[in-house]
Amino acid sequence: MFSHLFCSSVLVLASLPWQGVQEEKAQTVPKLPTPAAQLAHAKKVKAESRGTKGAARVQALEKALHAYQSVRQYWPKSGVIAAEAAFRRGEIQRTLGRPGLARGAFQEAIDQGTDTVFVPRSLLEIGHLHRRAAEFDQSILHYRRIQEIKAVPLRYLNDSREWLGKVYLELEQWQPAATSFREWATNAESPIGIVRAVDLEALAWVGAGDLEQANLRVQQVRQDLEGLAEEPTKEAAALAKALERMKAPAAILAAKRKQEAEARAKAGGTAG
């Protein structure tokens, strides 16, 4: 009987929500005069974790976690400040290897940060967490939600296009992948972004078996940007390296050789 009660007590303690523990710890953080001051204090505590390693790093991050939790504890209706504090908590929980708690904090940032950048940023982070867990349906859902936000900054819109395309590549859904990468290429913020997007789009076409379209896209981006890459600037040098590092040309060549080998084998079999 005693053993049963003891085990039950352990299970109850183990099931206590981490959030409640955080709120209790947050009470040890002093309440500052304004929400902005509370957030600034949390950022200062987080900065102290830089350069730490091992157990010391975990301890420092836990301390920062409690400091950010104090923003919600003392200033729960502080809008964008509460949203940023929740987002930073999500980042820390992710770093500490707690994906479920990280998702919860990022969702809180979404709820608190209406019409702020913390909505698309948090959706991206949740999408990444699902993607790393091979929960691809959920990752697609969250990346697509970013594209439904009105006036979302182009940076985050393109991030969603990139990662959505990469998930489709992982799933070997070549056409949706190519479409997502094409949208990114069309709206890329820099020449290097265009190269990266077109390279991935061409890889999607290789996967689909459309080597002609893959080669066309590679040739187009080279024609459009090789002149710019020859200018005597650091940006041009970086662009030239991006063009050189494209993976699609080698993938196209390998796919062509495979097709040719298969054709020869088939012809040999027919002749026999």
Q: Where are the alpha helices (DSSP H) in the chain?
A: 2-14, 18-26, 35-47, 54-74, 80-95, 99-112, 118-132, 136-147, 154-170, 174-186, 191-208, 211-229, 234-244, 248-271
Q: Write down the domain spans for the chain.
A: 20-152, 165-267
Q: So what's the pLDDT on residue 268?
A: 75
Residue 264: band (very low, low, confident or very high) from pLDDT cuts 50, 70, 90: confident
Per-residue pLDDT reduced to its tens digit, 181-202: 999 999 999 999 999 999 999 9
pLDDT score recorded for residue 67: 97
CATH number for the domain running over 165-267: 1.25.40
Nearest to 200 by CA among 150, 257, 242, 256: 242
What pLDDT, in 10s, does the model give residues 46-68? Answer: 999 999 999 999 999 999 999 99
Residue 46 CA neighbour count, 13 Å, CB half: 19
Same CATH fold assignment for domains 20-152 and 165-267: yes
pLDDT value at position 271?
Answer: 56
Arithmetic mean of pLDDT over the chain: 91
Q: Residue 19: pLDDT above 50?
A: no
pLDDT at position 272 is 54
CATH topology of domain 20-152: 1.25.40
pLDDT interval class at 266 (50, 70, 90) = confident
